[in-house]
Structure 1
C-alpha cells in the first residue's frame, strides 16, 4: 500500500476538491511566470492593472497552496491515527496464547518508529505533491514555447529518473539494515539500564557491555550517515538536472532548433522557475519512498496480527452467570504449546480433572516449569484448552461467554502490570486510601482523582497496590500468582493468615500459586503439579490439620 493511496482513501469525496485546489495553485504559479515574461517584453507602458493581476495571482496561489498543504498534513495525520487504532484493535482482539508469538517490543518499535517516520515527513510529502502539480503546468508552458526544448527536458528527466531507481534500491537496503541496527542499539542500551546493578559488580562485564553499546552506537551512526548521503545525492541530482537544463537551453538554438532571443529568454526564465518545484519534488521523493517502506512494514505487521486474530475465536457478549460464581470445573482440561522448530515434543499441561467452589482457598504448587502458571491461564480463560472443558456452574466457558467469565476474575499474575489509574472502577479514592493505610503504604503513595500519586515503589509495594485494585474490584473469583514472593515476613503472614481467610469468609473462590510450603495449611486444597501432570490433590481440614 502506498501513502498516496492511503491519502486518497482517507480523503474520499474530498480528494477531487483537494486536487482541484492543488491544480489552481499550480496554474496560478505558472501564470505568474507567464505574466512576468509577457510584462517584461511588452512594448507598451505597464500600468497598475498589471500589478493588480500579479497580486491576485500571488494571493490565489498562496491561499490554494496553504489549503492543500494543510489538508494534506491533516490527511496524513489521520492515516497514521487510523493505523495506530487498527493495530490497537487487532492486539485487543487477539488471544494471549497466539499474541505471545509476536514480541511486544517488535510491535511497539514498528508502530512508533514507522508511524513517526510517516508523520515527520508529512510536510515533505505535501510539498512533493504540490510541486508535482506546478511542474506539470510548467512543462505545458515549456511545450507551448518550444517542443524541442520539451523533448530535451524529458530526456534529461528520464536520465535522472534512472538514477533515482538505483537510489531506491539502495534506500530499501539501508532501511532494512537501519531497522536491525536500531533494535540492536536499543537492546544494548537496555542492558546498560536494566542491568546497571549487576554491572557494578564486575568491571570486566561492564567494560564488555559498554564496548558492545559503543559498537552498536557507531553502527547506528554509520547507518544514519549513509542515509543522509543518499538524500544529499538525490538533492545533487536535482541541482545537476537544473544546471544541465540551463546549459542545454542556452545552446539549444545552435544545434537543434533555431530559436529567437525572446524565446530563449522565456525558456531560461521557465527553467529557473522550475528550480523551486523541482527541488521540492527531489526533496520529497526520498521521504515519500521511505514512508511507503514504513507502510509496507506496518502492512506486514498488520498481516501477522490479522492471522493471530483469525486464529482467535470470535468473542461474544453472552453472560449466563450475571456476576455469580459457585463452582468451577476443569473436566479433562489440557493445554499444549505449539511444536518447536527443532522437532522436540511441545510442553503439555494435563489432562486434569479439578473442581473449585466458592468459599474455598486452593493452592496450586509445584516446582519451576511444572505448569502452574499455564494452568492458571487456562482456568482464567486466557488460554483456550487444547482439549477438555472448563465449566462454571454447569455452563461451558467458550468464545460466546469467555468475556463475561473473565469479568468475574480479579487476578494478580507474577508478571503483573500496574496501571497508573483505577480504570473501570470510577471514583473510589476514599476506599482506596483506606486500603492503602491497611497495606502500610501511607506516606509513600495515595490515590487522588482516581490516579496513584506514584508508582516508583518496590516490587512488593507495587504488588500491594495491585492487591488494593483487586479488593476494590470485589469479584467472585480471585487468582494470585506468587503474590507473597516479594513481601516481607510481616505481609507474607498477613496474606496467608488474614487476607485469604477474609476472602474465604466472603464466599470468594480463591486460587493461589505458591511455593510457601509452611503456609499450605491455610488452604482448603493443595493441587501439586509435576511436569504438567497432577502429582497430588490434598484436602486440608479447616482447622489447619490434615484430615
Structure 2
C-alpha cells in the first residue's frame, strides 16, 4: 500500500474519510451478523427491537458503504486523471524517436495498466468493509466463547497462509501475462496498419495469423489460464478448508474435544456468514498483485520517458534579418537509436539553407532520406552532430520546443484531430470556410464551433482535411511530405497551383517533398537528396 501513498497523498483527507466510512460500514455489518447470532442463541431475543436493529444497521451499513465507495471513486478518478495526464505530458516532452519506437509498449500502459490500478483502488472500500466485518464479528464471538472461536480462527489463519503463499506466483504469472499481452497488442496494431498487405497476400496473411498472432496468443492464454486457475483454486480451497475444518471440529467435539454443541450450532452459521467477506479479502490481495505489476509498468515507463525528457524552455528570437536564410543546416548527421549497435545507417553530413518565403522542393529516390530529413528539419529527430540555425540563432535542446513550434507539417501517416480549440477564434472564423472551399470540401465537412463536423472520410478526403488543418495552424514554415502522392490530378493541380502560391503570398516558407516533375516549375528551388546528402541543386 505504501507504493500507492504518493498517488493519494494530495487527497489524503478524502481517503481518510473514505476509509473511516468503510470501517464504520464494516462495524454495522458485523452488528447485523451478531444480532442474527443473538437470535440463534435464543428465540426470546427475537422481538421488535431485534428486527428494528437489523433493519437499521443494515441500512446504515449500506449508506456508509456507498459513501465510502463514492469517496474512494472520487480519489480514483483524480489519481487516474493525474497519472494519465502526467504520463501524456511526459511522453509529449520526450525524445520523439524514442516514443515512436516504443509506441507498442506505451499504449497498453496508458490503457490496461492504468485501468487495472483504477480497479484496485476502487476495491479498497469493499476490502475495508470486509476486514472490519470479519475482525469485529470474531471479536464479539471471542468474548462469547473464546475456545470455540479460537478453533475457527485456525481455519481463517490457514486461509491467510494459503493466499499469502501463492501471491508471488500470482505476480509472476501476471507479469508473464502482461508481457505477452503487450506483444499481442503490438501484433494486432500491425494487423490493422498492414491490412492492405495482408488482405492481398494469402500466404503472408496465413503466416501472420498462425505464426505471429497465434503464437503470442498461445503464450498469453497459457499464462492467463494458469493465473485464473490458481485464483479459482485458491477460492475453492478456501471454502473447502472452512467446510472440512467445520466437519472435523464437529467430529472432534463428539469424540475428543469438550465442545458445547448447542454453542457450536449458534456460531457455525455466523462463520458461514463470514466466508464471502474472507473471499473478498483474499480477492483484494490477489488483485493487489496485478495492480502492483501495473504500477511497476507505469513507474518504469515514467522513468524511461523522464530519461529522454527534452528540457526546453527558451524561446527563439522573434525578429531576424531578412537577408539571412531562415533555416541553415551545417554538417548535420543523424543516426537512428535502434541502429546504434548493428550496421548503423548514418544520414548526412548535410549542408543546406532555405530562404524565407520560398517554395523549395526536396526530391530523390526511395531510400534517399527525404522523410528522415523532414523529421530532422522539424526538430522531431535530433542530430548526433552538426548544427541547425534559425536565421542566425543556433537551435539547441534549450530552445527545441520553440523551434518545433515554427512548423506545420503533413506526413502520410498524419492524424487529423477534429478539435481546433488551439486556434484563435477570430482567425478560425475568418479563414476556415475559405480553406474548406479552396479544397472543395464544403459538401463533406464544416466547422461547428471549434470542431470539424466529421473526420470519417475517405483517405484522399482525410488528406485534404489534414491540409486544411495545417493551413489553419498559421505557422511560419510549412512542410509537406508527399501530400499529393495519393490525390487525383485535379486536386494535385489545386495543391501546386493554388495552395502553395497562396501560402507564399501570405509570407510563408514552404518545403515540399515531391516526385511530381510536372509541377517542378512551381518551386523557387529544387534540392535532390541522395543517401541523406545533397546530390544536386537547381535554381
TM-score tier by shorter-chain length is: 0.7 to 0.9
Distance 1:498 1:328, change over 3 A: same
TM-score scaled by length of structure 2: 0.86
Distance 1:96 1:188, change over 3 A: closer
Aligned to 1:64: 64
**Are the counterparts in 2 of residues 148 and 256 from structure 1 also a CA contact under 8 Å?**
no
Aligned to 1:280: 280
Q: Secondary structure at the match of 1:389?
A: strand
Aligned to 1:144: 143
Distance 1:499 1:45, change over 3 A: closer
Q: 1:197 Cα shift?
A: 4.8
Aligned to 1:355: 353
Matches within 5 A, 1:528-543: 528-538=528-538, 540=539
Please tell me whether residue 318 in structure 1 is matched to residue 335 in structure 2.
Answer: no
Distance 1:385 1:72, change over 3 A: same
Aligned to 2:160: 161
Distance 1:191 1:412, change over 3 A: closer
**Are the counterparts in 2 of residues 72 and 126 from structure 1 also a CA contact under 8 Å?**
yes
Q: Secondary structure at the match of 1:315?
A: coil
> Which deviates more, 277-286 or 334-343?
334-343
Q: Secondary structure at the match of 1:401?
A: helix
The root-mean-square deviation of aligned C-alpha atoms, in Å, is: 3.5
**Are the counterparts in 2 of residues 117 and 294 from structure 1 also a CA contact under 8 Å?**
yes
Residues 131-179 of structure 1, C-alpha deviations (whole Å, 9 max, x = no match): 0122222232343244444543454334333432453344334323433
In the alignment, the residues of structure 1 paired with residue 498 and residue 511 of structure 2 have an alpha-carbon distance, to the nearest angstrom, of 16
Aligned to 1:404: 402
In the alignment, the residues of structure 1 paired with residue 222 and residue 143 of structure 2 have an alpha-carbon distance, to the nearest angstrom, of 48
Q: Which runs of 5+ in 1 are unaligned?
A: 541-547
Residues 500-538 of structure 1, C-alpha deviations (whole Å, 9 max, x = no match): 333333332221222234433432222222222233333
Matches within 5 A, 1:53-452: 53-102=53-102, 104-120=103-119, 124-183=123-182, 185-186=184-185, 189=188, 193-198=192-197, 201-209=200-208, 211=210, 224-251=224-251, 253=253, 258-261=258-261, 263-309=263-309, 312=310, 314-316=311-313, 318-321=315-318, 327-338=325-336, 343-427=341-425, 428=428, 431-452=431-452
Residues 437-487 of structure 1, C-alpha deviations (whole Å, 9 max, x = no match): 221333233333333333333433322222222223332222112222222
Residues 85-140 of structure 1, C-alpha deviations (whole Å, 9 max, x = no match): 121111122131332342x2321122212223334455544322320122222232
In the alignment, the residues of structure 2 paired with residue 435 and residue 45 of structure 1 have an alpha-carbon distance, to the nearest angstrom, of 83
Aligned to 2:478: 478
Aligned to 2:454: 454
In the alignment, the residues of structure 2 paired with residue 45 and residue 170 of structure 1 have an alpha-carbon distance, to the nearest angstrom, of 48
In the alignment, the residues of structure 2 paired with residue 91 and residue 490 of structure 1 have an alpha-carbon distance, to the nearest angstrom, of 40
**Are the counterparts in 2 of residues 445 and 454 from structure 1 also a CA contact under 8 Å?**
yes
Aligned to 1:543: none
Q: Secondary structure at the match of 1:13?
A: helix
Q: 1:299 Cα shift?
A: 2.0
**Are the counterparts in 1 of residues 478 and 508 from structure 2 also a CA contact under 8 Å?**
yes
Q: 1:83 Cα shift?
A: 1.8
The number of equivalent residue pairs is 535
**Are the counterparts in 2 of residues 24 and 64 from structure 1 also a CA contact under 8 Å?**
yes
